[in-house]
Amino acid sequence: MRSALWLLVALAPLGIEAAALAADTPEHPAPGAVATKAKPPGPIIERRVMSMRWRDRSYRIQVAAPHGEAPPEGYPVFYTTDGNGLFDLAAQTAFIEAAYQDYTSMPPVVVVAIGYESAHPFDPMRAYDLSPPDPAPPKDAKVMNNEAVAGVGGADHFLDFIGQSLKPAIEQQYKIDRHRQALFGHSRGGLFVLHTLFTRPREFQIYIAASPAIWWHDRFVVKERRQFLASLPQRPTNARLLITVGALEQGSDMVDNAFEMSQALTGLQGKGLEVSYFAFDQEDHISVIPAAISRALNFAFKNAAGKHAGPK
């Protein structure tokens, strides 16, 4: 049912250290000056690529992890969908934040990006993996190009892969803090994050839905929300949710839907759900991604307000 193959252990610790040294060492020191090597400002990371199969599907898993001994409780972990397009951005953001922990209060984080064996930043196969199983799809539902290629409704199978295969593989390689596991997704990935929260709320403790495609199938995820809310008295959860959106994303009612979703879930702290919402000014559906990832990492793992204004 499952198989994993570690394909590559990149020498990222050396590469990142070299980059850190270069940033603080003059390229051409003055005559008679002695060039000294500055110590990297924070934890060096290593990067790995893992090929995994689950049932009839193949995934490329990219991992960035701090290099060295883990803290006693283990590392917090940041899982993101659409790994082909988002891994480098998430890994580098986490690295920079942790490297200047005195300013950011960001701990070292393991980043796990789930992607596909292709060069496409947003592979068409995501249409199946990231969409909920809708037993009665609307007859006039718009069929996107990716859906025509890959189909829809595979989110639960994808969750099975994450919970039963991917997480155990990651925990064999790294010491993970199971109390600080975050799931991030953008667009259809954001829809998947909401579906996961509403149907398997204990799979993660932190959920970040960036520009979620709530419009999909006549807002099918709103039906899942109603079922989730009805179950809370009998099945209280302990989770945090951040919903973000770009202010220029009003196509498909993206902004209104994101705000409405956050409002419908606000006020549930007594039942174990903490909800936050943020809209990024002057950002559209694509330009918002870097800001959303930065905000997601800070929401998930930042311990407290930074101690200083920033590196000098």
Catalytic residue among 131, 165, 187, 262: 187
Question: 């001994």: which residue's tokens?
Answer: 69
User: What sign results for the dihedral spanned by CA atoms 137, 143, 147, 149?
Assistant: positive
187 is catalytic: yes
Catalytic residue among 186, 195, 217, 285: 285
Catalytic residue among 97, 147, 249, 283: 249
Is residue 123 a contact partner of residue 116, using CB atoms and an 8 Å limit? Answer: yes
Show the tokens assigned to 294.
């930065």
Residue 186's nearest CA partner among 211, 220, 163 is 211
Which residues lie across from 183 on neighbouring strands?
Answer: 79, 207
Strands 2-10 and 239-246 come out as unpaired
Among all residues, which ones are annotated catalytic?
Answer: 187, 249, 285
